[in-house]
């Protein structure tokens, strides 16, 4: 698979999968069957395909949350394997946004967003400044001290995006980030996501079922039956 933007200023490959194989239940359920994929710096890439085709699995492998049975994954040209410092990957290089916001309900919005900074040992003042900056940009400044239960679905997902970007990762892995939202909230959250990714200079790899949203990304990659079958220019 060749990148859509390959000929534009020689962009750097930030995510690369080479002949990836992954199965579950002791090999009886094969999910990825030889996936090859490259994502270039600054791209927004939509990963589309039916449920169970391996989109989430591919995201997890890129984020170091799981390991392939075969093949090679690399992030920023460094292989993701058990020998790699996976903590550094999760703390500084990639941020995750999930379909379910995965926020801790008993903590406030601010506390949830600060979790990655606590994990990475970032200075409290710097973390607070970053939080205020992101809250301002996501329109959540007035909700900082509110508990997650008090927030709407859209606000929760915006909070999850804030949290993912707290440590300024250059890669955002989003797994159906608007999948649990109504149409209005979906558009708000997706616009915000694209805007933040652009202003942060980050790369977005997003698994989605939503063809409309996928069409607004730089690239659209189709997955089917554990393989990448086609890719197309989008947007």
Partner 1 sequence: MIFLKLIVTNLRRHGIRSLISVAGIAFSVAAMLTVVTILQGAIGMFSSILSSDSEMIVFERDVSDLFFSNVPAEAAGQISSWPAVERANPVLFGIVSSAGHPIITCFGVTPADARIQKAVWLQGDRRSFAQDAEDVVLGTRAAEFLSASLGSRVQIGHATFHVVGVLKTANGFEDGGVFMPLASAQSFFHKEGTSSVITVKLRNKDDAAAFKKMVSARYPNLIALEDAEFTRSYSQFRILKATAWAVGGCGLLLGGLGVANTMIMSVFARIREIAILRVNGFSHLQIGGVIFGESAVVSASGAIAGLLIGSCFLYVLKAIPALGGYVDPTIHPLLMLVVLLLALLTGIAGALYPAVYAMRIRAVEALRFE
CB atoms within 10 A of CB 47: 29
Is residue 194 at the binding interface for partner 1, with CB under 8 A as the rule?
no
Q: Is 62 in the site for partner 1 (CB under 8 A)?
A: no
Binding mask 119-148 for partner 1 (x = CB under 8 A): xx----------------------------
Half-sphere exposure of 16 (CA within 13 A, CB side): 12
Q: What angle do CA 140, 145, 147 make, to 5 degrees?
A: 95
Collapsing DSSP states into helix, strand and coil, what is residue 133? Answer: helix
Alpha carbon distances (Å) from 8 to 12, 17, 41, 90: 10, 21, 11, 29
Q: If binding is defined by CB under 8 A, does position 96 make contact with partner 1?
A: yes
Q: If binding is defined by CB under 8 A, does position 171 make contact with partner 1? A: no
Can residue 41 be called a binding residue for partner 1 (CB under 8 A)?
no
Range 105-124, binding partner 1 (CB under 8 A)? 106-107, 111, 114-116, 118-120
Among 43, 138, 159, 167, binds partner 1 (CB under 8 A): 167
Closest CA to 63 of 54, 55, 73: 73
Q: Which stretch binds partner 1 (CB under 8 A): 1-9, 28-36, 90-98, 193-201?
A: 90-98
Cβ closest to partner 1, residue 23 vs residue 187: 23
């Amino acid at each position: 698979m060749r990148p859509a933007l390959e000929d534009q200023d020689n962009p750097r490959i930030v995510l690369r999968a080479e002949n990836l194989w992954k199965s579950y239940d002791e090999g009886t359920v094969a999910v990825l069957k030889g996936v090859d994929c490259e994502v270039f710096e600054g791209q927004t890439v939509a990963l589309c395909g039916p449920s169970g085709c391996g989109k989430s699995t591919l995201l997890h492998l890129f984020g170091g949350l799981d390991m392939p049975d075969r093949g090679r994954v690399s992030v920023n040209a460094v292989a993701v394997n058990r020998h790699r410092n996976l903590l550094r990957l999760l703390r500084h290089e990639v941020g995750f946004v999930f379909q379910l916001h995965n926020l801790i309900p008993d903590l406030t919005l601010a506390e949830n967003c600060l979790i990655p900074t606590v994990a990475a040992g970032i200075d409290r003042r710097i973390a607070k400044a970053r939080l205020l900056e992101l809250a301002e940009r996501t329109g959540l400044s007035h909700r900082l001290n509110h508990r997650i239960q008090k927030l709407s679905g859209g606000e929760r997902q915006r909070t999850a995006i804030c949290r993912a970007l707290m440590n300024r990762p250059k890669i955002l892995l989003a797994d159906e980030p608007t999948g649990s939202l109504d149409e209005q909230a979906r558009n708000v959250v997706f616009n915000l996501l694209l805007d933040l990714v652009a202003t942060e200079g980050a790369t977005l790899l997003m698994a989605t079922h939503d063809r409309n949203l996928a069409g607004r990304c730089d690239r659209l990659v189709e997955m089917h039956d554990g393989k990448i079958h086609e890719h197309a220019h989008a947007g």
